[in-house]
Structure 1
Amino acid sequence: MHRRAHFDRLRAIVLVCFACAALPLAHSSAQSFDNLGHQEWSTENGLPQNSIHQIFQSRDGYIWTATEGGIARFNGSGFQAFSQEDNPAFTTNDTCCITQDAKGALWVGTADGLVQYANGAFRHFTLGDGQITIEALAADNANLYILTDSGILVENGDKFTPLPLPSNISPTAIAQASNGALWIATATQLFEYSDGSLKQISSGTEPFANPIQSIGSLHGNAPWIMTRSSVTLLRSGHPRTLQTSRDLPNTRLQSFLEDARGDLWIGTSSGLFVVSKNGGPAEIEPALGANSILSLFEDSEGDIWVGTETAGLHILRRQNFHTLPALSEHVITAVAQSTDGAMWAGTNGDGLDRWQSGKTQHYSASNGLLSDIILALAPGSNGSMWVGTPDGLNHIEGRKIDSYTAADGLPDDLIRSLLVDSDGSLWIGTRRGLAHWKNNAFTIYTEATGLKSNLIGSLVRNAQDPQALWIGTLDGISRLRDGRITTYTTNDGLSGNIITSLLEDSAGTLWIGTKGSGLSRSTPNGFISMQRADLPRSIDSILEDNAGNLWLSSTHGITRVPRDTLIACGTSTSCNPHPEPYGRADGMPTEEASSIGHPAAWKDTAGLLWFATRKGVAITDPNHLSEDRIPPPVVIESFIVDDATIASSSTEIDIPPGHTRFAFAYAGLSFAAPSKVRYRYILEGFDKQWTDAGSRRTAYYTNLPPRHYRFRVQAANNSGGWNEPGAEIGFYVRPAFYRRAWFILLCLALLAAIIVLLYRLRVRRLQRQFDAVLAERNRMAREIHDTLAQSFVGVSVQLELAAQLLAQSHVTAAHEQIDRTRAYVREGLAEARRSIWDLRAITAQDTLPTRLTRLADQTGTPQLQINLTIGGTYRPLAPGVETEVLRIAQEALANVTRHAQATRAAIDLRYHSKRLTLTITDNGRGFDTTNTTLPANGHFGLQGMRERAEQIGANLAVSSVPGQGSTVTLDAPIAAEKGIKTP
């Protein structure tokens, strides 16, 4: 017990020390310098070197740092360093300064000339003989000015010419004025250079004790002048000088900044100091300690950047929340303010603390509390406080602590919530029901009297209906009025039945927080769910500020949402009530708010909001919130195709075919809360709608079809302001050659050509088939004409002869003639069969001379004598050729028999070395060979002969003179392989 009391005394001393600083902070505006978040980076985080000589923000939003190890570009997440190790434009890593000209080019001053960064590429410029040392850079709307150890140079294209100045002026510092003029300082004087003229600006404090080492611009185009021991502000003709050992610590001054609020920041060799615009002494910024401060810069969001000599880069962000350091290691369960203005905080195992007016008082089990675990607080009268613990109820009034337990009539010792009523009575929520202590007696309400659950949570008195008490339970919300209990659940419109928090706002609306089911509210007709995806699902506490905003705490931070806008939007996904989330980036000690006790949040009499968390209290002033309403710049940092980075371009990028993986790295350049920057993107030509990427900074696509695309990305800062134009990059994925229009057209043309070719081949095949059928029909017609018809003619002639012999009573001769006729018939039948079945094979006994001899014998009659002559050496011909020659001879003799009325005919068959000639002559009446009407009159003999001659490649000549007979000559080639042409 003695050791615990000693610990409590030590703890009280610490709390007193912190309370003296914490109370003024808690009840002041958020402008306090103590309410600053701090973050630092060094070489371990990607900086090329820890000496930061200048910090600069380019117009695209990047933060640039000049170090002795090169320059670095920061996007809020990481650094990209540029130095001579990876870029030949840097001939040295020692850099001093950075600026940007009117065309957007970035200029870097180094120990060996200038480096220009434009269109993604670096370029080196040498000044003079290369021995010139650059000390500072400045740029206006037309020119770039370079301060060197030998004067000021002006950039003119690729040339650098001296700025014409009087010979008695030796510049020591330059800076750009807000009006576009150039300020030039010497060791003792300040000048303004504009349009070629130079005029002196009086500081009103000359002479300076030390030479001027740097100058800059204040708000309103007023200059400031700094020496190693003083800073002079030349504002409105009333100079103000801050002197070391008088207004500032006795240390060397190295950098200066007036921020957007008007506060003055002075970097020294022994730390960073700040002077409020409202006056007062300089205060040291404890986050920087005694580090030597080389450079200061304020970005577009109001963040203060600090460059040190050995400790790298730092940022000071104004935060909306602060905490009490004395409670930072405690799990806070409940907070409340007593009627005397004191703030009370209960913890989970570390007792109860009360502080007021710089004094603190600690309560624990050692000095009267029933338990060191505090579950509920409720302010009583006269500055007293009711305290609920797991072991009973305490009442603290001054130094007196009273205790109440189940032995005194409580339904249970575990007290979960407390509410002091307007009549001074006390409502006590336990795990076994609700107790009402009035006139030193307890009235108990449980499930037996109408509650649906005995586990009582938050309690609130209905201001619109003072007779009604709202009770949060694990099974809905109950209303106690006139001793009767009515319970409402999800069946009555609530979003959930596990009630965790209650608030009646200034308009009389009851807001109900649930566990896992979001928010609900009361209406004149009952309850309505307000569950939304952009609000917490589990709500541990609800507060309303003086502006009508609701503050919802959860295990994932605190969310502020305008009450009226939320009511108007309801649960509509198309309506945005613009909720604002807060977390560690906003100064909260942790994002996990406490859900152990009641009340877990409190609005004090000054309007400050206190939230219990698992690492102390989070305090905010809703009337002085730092809100960033400027949408963050968005940049596409890299476009990667199959692991190869594509150089950025203002025109459409052409991507060759065959690539499958595409990645876009982008960044929203907001430094107030980089972790809370949200992104959405769309790939026009592929995506149908925007993709909500959250805080992810890379988009991936695979297997994009060949076409034109445009990737667009937008970003929103921690205040929800979206940069609608965003950033974009266009590219064209070229198709493979087999997917190009010319190739497709060529393929279509080839396909059409193939179809036409196949069609023509089909037509040709059908034509050949038709020609073959027609040829076969013609052949059959010729065969029938030359075999059956001739045979019938011969039979007819023989029968006529037989008839004449019988008429003359030559019976014996008639019998012989009939026998000969019978032989003709048999031979005609054989010829018909050979023609029909195309029996073209012949034997050696059935050669062309033999067949011609038989033909001559069959055709000859007593009235027609036929003489056959065969000459030359016999040469066998193809069977088809011999058959065609025989048929031509047969047709010629048939014509002689039927039409010539000849008495003699001669057949001459002659074999030559390569040709065969057949000549048939007669002494008949002849005919006119020019007569073309013969086929029309049914005479097809000559036409058939010509067709047969053509089939075997022979020449057929027919000559005749009327009255002088006729001659048929056939000239055919002799070739064993030659046969009838077949289709």
Structure 2
Amino acid sequence: MAVAWLLIATQPALALDSQRTLTQALLRKWQIQQGLPQPTITVIIQGADGGLWLGTQAGLYQFDGIRFDPALVVEGESLADIWINDLCEDSQGRLWIATRGEGLLYLHDGEVVKHTSPVGFPMQNVNCLMLSRQGELWAGGDGGLAVYRNDTFRKYDHADGLHIPIVRDIAQAADDSIWIGGDGSGLMVWKDGTLSNHPDADRRTVNTLLAAADGSLWAGTNRGLLKIDGPGITSAITTGEGLPDDTVECLLRAQDGVLWAGTRNGLCRIIGQEVEAFGTREGLTQSAVLTICEDHEGSLWVGTKHGLNQLSDRRTLPLTSTEGLPTNDAGPIVQAPSGQIWVGTLGGGLARYDGRRCEVAANRRAGLPSSRLHALAAGKTNDLWIGTDKGVCLWRDGEVVKVLNIKDGLPGNDVACLTFDDASRLWIGTRRGLVRYDGNSIERPISDPVVASARISVLKNAGQQGLIASTSNGVFLIRDDKLTPLPGDEAWLREVHAIEIGPEGEFWLASRGRGLMLIKDGEVSLFTIADGLFDDEIVGIAIDDRDQLWMGCSRGIFSVPRTQVLSVARGERARPLDCFSLSPTEGLRTVECQRDVQPAVSRTTDGQIWFSTIHGVLVIDPEKLQRELPTPHVEANRLLVNGEPMRPNHPVVVPPGTLNVSIGYTAHTYSWPSRTSFRYQLEGFDKDWVYAGTRRDAFYTNLSPGTYRFRVSAANFGGSWSEAKLPVEITLRAAFWQTPWFPLLLGLLAMGTVWLILRLRVLRVRARMDAIISERVRIARELHDTLIQGFSGVTMQMQAVSSQVNDPNLRKSIHDVISDAGACLREARQSVAGLRNSQGTSMGLAAALEQAARQITETRDVRLHLDLPAASPSLPVEVEFNLLRIAQEAITNAARHSHARTIDVALTPKPGRLALRVRDDGVGFSTADRERSDHRHYGLIGMRERSRQISADLTIESRPGAGTTILVDLPLTGHETNGAPPHSSVYNPSGDT
């Protein structure tokens, strides 16, 4: 804080210009309608960071020139609805708060602490606070005085000699004595541990105290303002000396040494013996001024019972009836060779400007033919010629010495313009023609009726080029009493109401509603709103020392660079023009320049530009338009996370699930806060600066977990960027689903889910297989216990019968039946064995095929050719069983019905597939006929059903006399062959292989 104040102290002293009246200051006001949360402002102070603190009857607020924010409270008691009497900031950054009814509090880093020391604060109603140069905090209130030393309060009351029951203010003088003001004895002094009364304040209530650097003390009382220079030396200022009211509520010494006093009837400025008042008639929000504060930019802040007021210097100087102008309906403005500035009005006569105020110089009572002044012209001898609607007169040494009108030779009494030529002759333009006055008589130098009897609007001395006259018939150059029309559009030139001669001899002409014309070296160029002008209805032109063209118009005041316009006219630069317009708030409430007065815009010898308007006179100093202000102190002062306030000046760690982050920021500059621009960047989110303009909040939603740094910078209008020293650091914790291990957990969970599904699938398949196996075992048991046993018994009985039969043929037939029954029994036993073998064929598919084929063909006169792999692929039990049954059915059909001589059985592994082929060279059959009668051939039906069960393709190729081929094509989904080479064998009943 000390460094901040040191930087402020090294700046040039900024304060309200004491050379201007208070009514010429720019007044801004905030009341309930403008967003002020509580109208009664009891105290205003500016903190070390440049922020304004406002204490009210309903809480504490911080103001940045744009918005009012309640004090940020993260911990401790709320400051809402607390009546605040005084504020004081110490070297540790604690803001001490004197309250009514709540005792003494302090706010530090978002925490509100109600002071509790070993002794405790002795008063509930605290009226005033003062931080001494020794670092001690003095507090006064209802009940006496207390001093805070070493974390303990020492109370002074009646027993200690304090005869002020209610202390209202405290001040430390240059000699370190402590002055106490309040009720009762009024004023007391504490020095070297002793309290004493000051007799000059007896029977007065002292409301406020101010210790001056020269050792004097100012005391605002209920009976005026006292100045105490020493023992027995006291002077008073009351309403008799210009004080608005005898009850003084607050005092302030400005940076430039000026004394300000707030009274029950307004504000006043005291400079020496002069007291200048400013009250509700001048725009103050309310009469009772309760507090005054001056910020580091020189603005004055005034708190009243009904609002907040800011007084700051304008970049322009307004002169109105408040500053002594006879009327706000201003007329022509001219500066005499002596430097005296004269202002004519339309209805109030002639005014003189003394450097600070205006005063009436002449009116009808002083001899003016009329109070409506349309034209002014100052001669070399400081004579002032005044053109009115009733003639022209000469003002000399404070009186009218001559009046000229129609009787004296004027074409008409309505004088529109006046000027002197190089021979000091006065040219007079009227609504009915042009004449010249040489000091003795009036003459008509031009006989041409285009000028002699025309309406004259403007007269301008062009030096060696002659005289320029704007008439209702055009614009003419008069030299040696000869007319030369200026080039340009004739209709345009009939409406010229302003003329200026440039430093290069060029002519600048302006008209109402048609813009600006440039005539240089005989070339004419026109410029309008389309080319960048602020307005087309121009009534006056002047050129300043910076070569800027200033123009007054119906919408206000604006300027353009003269050299830029010349460059555009020469074709060296593209349009539009760079036009600067003056904000109405910097001038008068409404800026509309006056028409039909000459000159309406005038440049004085000190470089100022004077504008005549319908609401007074506006003076611009182009050199002071760019006011240098201290670099704005920018900071982030608000942090809301999901609507909850956080400390923005500390690293913030927020829990998972944060959706909204709002960061408020501000710049402590109060001269033109609406022109302060901002930019910000959230490092870790924003790739570059975000230009926010005048917006003072940044919003972020759905930020990813991580650490972010919020940076913000600000710039005054046209100034450089200044960045906040402390960025806001925010860390967003990750929810469990946002952590790096969460995707791994999801992967593991997905894998576990897939494993569980597969496991359940396997269990279901096993359960089905167990059920199938159980059923197969049951069937096998039934076949063994019934069919096989029955066939065995029948076979044995037939063998017994055969032994008793003597007929050889019959015995042979019986033996054939016994042989067939034996074969059927063998097949039945094989089926039962297959049903009971739940793990498939233990010998493998190839071996099972070989065994089955040999068993079927061993009793047949058929040649068997086997083409089987050495090791068959590993297949599911059901697949092997069904393939074996299809092969058995195909071999059986070939052996029994086809009369085949050769049967080929081949099992061929292929990439991703397995082929089973059974081929014979028997009689064959027609596949079409067989399809039509297929319902009677259950063997083929069974083969097709078994193929479908194992998702294999069954193909039957046959034709009469060409044999039959049964082909099964099985996809090996998930199974691979062992790659073993196949082996081939041929078998026949005779034993040849």
TM over 0.5: yes
In structure 2, relative to structure 1, the CA distance for the partners of 1:560 and 1:31 (3 Å cut) is farther
Aligned to 1:779: none
In structure 2, relative to structure 1, the CA distance for the partners of 1:689 and 1:455 (3 Å cut) is farther
SS of alignment partner, residue 602 of structure 1: strand
In structure 2, relative to structure 1, the CA distance for the partners of 1:181 and 1:871 (3 Å cut) is farther
Distance in 2 between residues matched to 1:92 and 1:180, nearest whole Å: 39
Pairwise CA distance, 1:444? 5.2
SS of alignment partner, residue 872 of structure 1: helix
Amino acid aligned to 1:345: G
SS of alignment partner, residue 970 of structure 2: coil
Does the 8 Å contact 1:323/1:619 carry over to 2?
A: no
SS of alignment partner, residue 93 of structure 2: coil
1:604-650 CA-partner distances (Å, limit 9, x unpaired): 688875421112233568899995623444566767899x6875624
Distance in 1 between residues matched to 2:655 and 2:157, nearest whole Å: 53
Aligned to 2:552: 553
In structure 2, relative to structure 1, the CA distance for the partners of 1:593 and 1:976 (3 Å cut) is closer
Matches within 5 A, 1:788-937: 870-872=823-825
SS of alignment partner, residue 982 of structure 1: strand
Does the 8 Å contact 1:331/1:615 carry over to 2?
A: yes
Amino acid aligned to 2:297: E
Amino acid aligned to 2:217: W
In structure 2, relative to structure 1, the CA distance for the partners of 1:233 and 1:408 (3 Å cut) is closer
1:922-968 CA-partner distances (Å, limit 9, x unpaired): xxxxxxxxxxxxxxxxxxx99947979997899xxxxxxxxxxxxxx
Distance in 1 between residues matched to 2:713 and 2:175, nearest whole Å: 34
Of 262, 284, 302, 2:257 maps to 262
Distance in 2 between residues matched to 1:388 and 1:548, nearest whole Å: 33
Aligned to 2:48: 59
Distance in 2 between residues matched to 1:271 and 1:705, nearest whole Å: 53
Distance in 1 between residues matched to 2:500 and 2:826, nearest whole Å: 135
Count of aligned positions: 747
Larger deviation: 119-128 or 467-476? 467-476
Matches within 5 A, 1:495-510: 501-504=498-501
SS of alignment partner, residue 65 of structure 2: coil
Amino acid aligned to 1:54: V
Does the 8 Å contact 2:474/2:485 carry over to 1?
A: no
Distance in 2 between residues matched to 1:378 and 1:272, nearest whole Å: 41
Pairwise CA distance, 1:97? 0.6
Aligned to 1:136: 128
Aligned to 1:117: 107
Pairwise CA distance, 1:96? 0.9
Distance in 2 between residues matched to 1:709 and 1:496, nearest whole Å: 64
Aligned to 2:87: 98
In structure 2, relative to structure 1, the CA distance for the partners of 1:211 and 1:976 (3 Å cut) is closer
Pairwise CA distance, 1:89? 1.9
Does the 8 Å contact 1:109/1:115 carry over to 2?
A: yes
Work out whether 1:467 is the aligned partner of 2:454: no
Pairwise CA distance, 1:737? 11
Pairwise CA distance, 1:297? 2.2
Distance in 1 between residues matched to 2:943 and 2:406, nearest whole Å: 139
1:351-372 CA-partner distances (Å, limit 9, x unpaired): 75456995544359x9856xx8
Aligned to 2:806: none
SS of alignment partner, residue 597 of structure 1: coil
Distance in 2 between residues matched to 1:94 and 1:897, nearest whole Å: 116
Matches within 5 A, 1:352-367: 352-353=349-350, 360-362=361-363
Aligned to 1:224: 217
Does the 8 Å contact 1:342/1:356 carry over to 2?
A: yes
Pairwise CA distance, 1:545? 6.6
TM-score of the aligned structures, taking structure 2 as reference length: 0.56
Does the 8 Å contact 1:332/1:615 carry over to 2?
A: yes
Matches within 5 A, 1:385-784: 385-387=385-387, 394-395=392-393, 398=400, 401-403=403-405, 417-427=417-427, 440-443=442-445, 458-463=458-463, 466-469=464-467, 483=482, 485=484, 487=486, 501-504=498-501, 536-537=534-535, 540-543=539-542, 552-558=551-557, 581=582, 583-586=584-587, 588=588, 590-603=590-603, 610-619=610-619, 627=627, 629-634=629-634, 649-650=648-649, 669-672=668-671, 677-679=675-677, 681=679, 693=693, 697=695, 712=712, 714-716=714-716, 721=719, 724-725=722-723
Work out whether 1:108 is the aligned partner of 2:97: yes
In structure 2, relative to structure 1, the CA distance for the partners of 1:701 and 1:578 (3 Å cut) is farther
Aligned to 2:970: 982
Does the 8 Å contact 2:350/2:363 carry over to 1?
A: yes
In structure 2, relative to structure 1, the CA distance for the partners of 1:92 and 1:917 (3 Å cut) is closer
Distance in 2 between residues matched to 1:447 and 1:656, nearest whole Å: 91
Distance in 2 between residues matched to 1:715 and 1:225, nearest whole Å: 39
Aligned to 2:377: 378
1:748-783 CA-partner distances (Å, limit 9, x unpaired): 999xx9xxxxxxxxxxxxxxxxxxxxxxxxxxxxxx
Does the 8 Å contact 1:40/1:314 carry over to 2?
A: yes
Amino acid aligned to 1:423: A
SS of alignment partner, residue 870 of structure 1: helix
Does the 8 Å contact 1:496/1:518 carry over to 2?
A: no
Amino acid aligned to 1:403: N
Distance in 2 between residues matched to 1:743 and 1:437, nearest whole Å: 102
SS of alignment partner, residue 93 of structure 1: coil
Pairwise CA distance, 1:441? 3.8
Aligned to 2:59: 70
Distance in 1 between residues matched to 2:665 and 2:506, nearest whole Å: 44
Does the 8 Å contact 2:266/2:288 carry over to 1?
A: yes
Amino acid aligned to 2:461: R
Does the 8 Å contact 2:417/2:598 carry over to 1?
A: yes
Amino acid aligned to 1:147: A
Larger deviation: 282-291 or 563-572? 563-572
Does the 8 Å contact 2:404/2:410 carry over to 1?
A: no
Pairwise CA distance, 1:147? 1.0
Distance in 2 between residues matched to 1:469 and 1:272, nearest whole Å: 53
Amino acid aligned to 2:19: A
In structure 2, relative to structure 1, the CA distance for the partners of 1:638 and 1:65 (3 Å cut) is closer
Distance in 2 between residues matched to 1:729 and 1:496, nearest whole Å: 62
Aligned to 1:906: none
Amino acid aligned to 2:318: F
Distance in 2 between residues matched to 1:480 and 1:744, nearest whole Å: 94
Pairwise CA distance, 1:257? 1.7
Pairwise CA distance, 1:225? 4.8
Distance in 2 between residues matched to 1:75 and 1:667, nearest whole Å: 7
Distance in 1 between residues matched to 2:81 and 2:428, nearest whole Å: 74
Work out whether 1:321 is the aligned partner of 2:274: no
User: Which residues of structure 2 form unaligned runs of 5+?
Assistant: 1-16, 752-818, 835-845, 868-880, 889-902, 919-941, 948-967, 972-993
Of 116, 126, 139, 1:147 maps to 139
Distance in 1 between residues matched to 2:865 and 2:621, nearest whole Å: 139
1:688-735 CA-partner distances (Å, limit 9, x unpaired): 787584xx5567889999897957452426xx5566336997699999
In structure 2, relative to structure 1, the CA distance for the partners of 1:268 and 1:79 (3 Å cut) is same
Does the 8 Å contact 1:561/1:579 carry over to 2?
A: yes
Distance in 2 between residues matched to 1:123 and 1:223, nearest whole Å: 36
Q: Aligned-residue CA RMSD in angstroms?
A: 6.9
1:212-261 CA-partner distances (Å, limit 9, x unpaired): 765444357x56352636767688x9997432569786934442222122
Does the 8 Å contact 2:173/2:217 carry over to 1?
A: no
Work out whether 1:30 is the aligned partner of 2:19: yes
Distance in 2 between residues matched to 1:898 and 1:387, nearest whole Å: 140
Aligned to 1:835: none
In structure 2, relative to structure 1, the CA distance for the partners of 1:549 and 1:978 (3 Å cut) is closer
Distance in 2 between residues matched to 1:415 and 1:653, nearest whole Å: 79
In structure 2, relative to structure 1, the CA distance for the partners of 1:137 and 1:83 (3 Å cut) is same
SS of alignment partner, residue 444 of structure 2: strand
Distance in 1 between residues matched to 2:554 and 2:266, nearest whole Å: 37
Work out whether 1:343 is the aligned partner of 2:342: yes
Does the 8 Å contact 1:328/1:615 carry over to 2?
A: no
In structure 2, relative to structure 1, the CA distance for the partners of 1:333 and 1:213 (3 Å cut) is closer
Distance in 2 between residues matched to 1:472 and 1:732, nearest whole Å: 70
